Amino acid sequence: MSTESIERQQQKAREFMSLLPLTLAVAGLPHAAPGQHFNEGQMEARATTLRTAYKVARTIIADATR
């Protein structure tokens, strides 16, 4: 893997982490109750919601900085 691609991957990870609070707010997912665990289907549904919310969060930031 080239240095360029590693740097790009790290940049994308930093971007994701910086947008995580906004992403979680947009997603609006409830927390699990203490002692409760999500099953695989629930986790996949939550992951899909987070992916969509991340795209929306990126759009919000892009619109706000224009």
pLDDT tens digit string along 3-12? 889 999 999 9
What sign for the dihedral angle of Cα 61, 59, 62, 8?
positive
- Tokens representing 1 are 């893997």
* Other CB atoms within 10 A of residue 57 CB: 22
Read off the pLDDT of each residue in 11-35 and give the average, rounded to a whole number. Answer: 96
Which structural domain range is residue 55 located in? 3-30+38-64
State the total domains in the chain.
1
pLDDT at 1: 67
